[in-house]
Amino acid sequence: MRWLRSPGADDDKRSMGVLGVVTGSERYPGAAVLGVEAAWRTGIGMVRLWAPRRVQDLVLARRPETVCHALDDPAEGVDAWLLGSGQDARERDPRLRSLLLEALGAGSPSVVDAGALDLVPGHAGPVVVTPHGRELERILEQLGAPVDADGRMRAAAAAAALDAVVVAKGSATHVVEPGGPTTRIEAATHRLATAGTGDVLAGMLGALVAANAGAAREPAALASIAALAVALHGEAAAAAVADGRPITALDVAEHVPGAVAARLAR
């Protein structure tokens, strides 16, 4: 399956992709737990987390294989970045702002969510942003672009203005590359309408981008990777709800390996 592969005899943790993660906060530490969990379960070789100590402790309690760094450690040694989940730009301190800008300016592919979306203008490397509806409206207002359009047109306007791939989340998710086509992906289940599922998607997408960092420098490839992440996210959720049961975001993450295996077997 394109963008997915099983490790071979010559692979190691670095050849399977290294994802740098700057997510979570004192107020929303669970976003980092969910994103890191999802990244590992998608098949990444290594996850490195930059976060406050409380966030690190919670992530390590769930995923002890994660490599943790303080917010003032250098932003280096990764293939791609996941930035902003579980953060609020209004509460961002100077250390976090500096780290996010360093990551966005490093030239590596980045997945940008929630509390880092306002920093995307001026990014140096390939970027995919993952706003929900209200966040997309705020992006367009910040850029002075019209917001009174349908979801596809708003996503296209943001992609053009930011020079970034946009994953506009909703019951139908629109994946748009700058000046390119739109992929529409219907929700596999509306049980995804629960807190934290966006953090799971961001972690999955970050893992896929890190594993395909070279290809992800091309907008069409980055959009294709993003569309695969959205589809896998839906397939994992559909497996989690099997008989219509309510689910949590962690349930979705725990079903990601099965969704990946099913894709690889096609």
The confidence score (pLDDT) of residue 247 equals 96
DSSP string for residues in the chain: -TT-----TT--TTTT-EEEEE---SS-THHHHHHHHHHHHHT-SEEEEE--HHHHHHHHHH-TT-EEE-TTS---S-SEEEE-TT--GGG--HHHHHHHHHHHTS-S-EEE-GGGGGG-TT-SS-EEE---HHHHHHHHHHHT----S-HHHHHHHHHHHHTSEEEE-SSEEEEE-TTS-EEEEE-S-GGG-STTHHHHHHHHHHHHHHHTTTGGGSHHHHHHHHHHHHHHHHHHHHHHHTTT----HHHHHHTHHHHHHHHHT-
Question: Which of the four pLDDT bands, split at 50, 70 and 90, describes residue 122?
Answer: confident
Q: How many whole angstroms separate alpha carbon 8 and alpha carbon 6?
A: 7
Look up residue 163 and give its two tokens.
């020079």
In a domain, 10, yes or no: no
In a domain, 136, yes or no: no
Better pLDDT: 266 or 237: 237
Between helix 219-241 and helix 256-264 the angle, nearest 10°, is 120
The confidence score (pLDDT) of residue 149 equals 65
In a domain, 184, yes or no: no
In a domain, 93, yes or no: yes
Q: How many whole angstroms separate alpha carbon 189 and alpha carbon 7?
A: 31
State the average pLDDT over residues 226-232.
98
The confidence score (pLDDT) of residue 8 equals 96
Say whether pTM exceeds 0.85: yes
Look up residue 2 and give its two tokens.
């394109």
Please tell me the total count of domains within the chain.
Answer: 1
In a domain, 206, yes or no: yes
Under 8 Å between Cβ of 112 and 120: yes
State the average pLDDT over residues 182-189.
94
With a cut of 70, say whether residue 148 has pLDDT above it. no
In a domain, 225, yes or no: yes
In a domain, 68, yes or no: yes
With a cut of 80, say whether residue 1 has pLDDT above it. no
With a cut of 80, say whether residue 146 has pLDDT above it. no
Q: How many whole angstroms separate alpha carbon 68 and alpha carbon 64?
A: 10
Question: Which of the four pLDDT bands, split at 50, 70 and 90, describes residue 243?
Answer: confident
The confidence score (pLDDT) of residue 54 equals 97
Give me the phi and psi of 20, to 5 degrees please.
-90, 130
State the average pLDDT over residues 96-106.
97
State the average pLDDT over residues 200-219.
98
State the average pLDDT over residues 87-99.
96
Q: Which domain holds residue 214?
A: 18-123+194-260
Q: Name residue 69's beta-bridge partners.
A: 50
The confidence score (pLDDT) of residue 189 equals 94
With a cut of 60, say whether residue 114 has pLDDT above it. yes
In a domain, 56, yes or no: yes
Question: Which of the four pLDDT bands, split at 50, 70 and 90, describes residue 129?
Answer: very high
Q: What CATH number is associated with residue 225?
A: 3.40.1190.20
The confidence score (pLDDT) of residue 242 equals 87
With a cut of 60, say whether residue 184 has pLDDT above it. yes
The confidence score (pLDDT) of residue 151 equals 78
Under 8 Å between Cβ of 248 and 196: yes
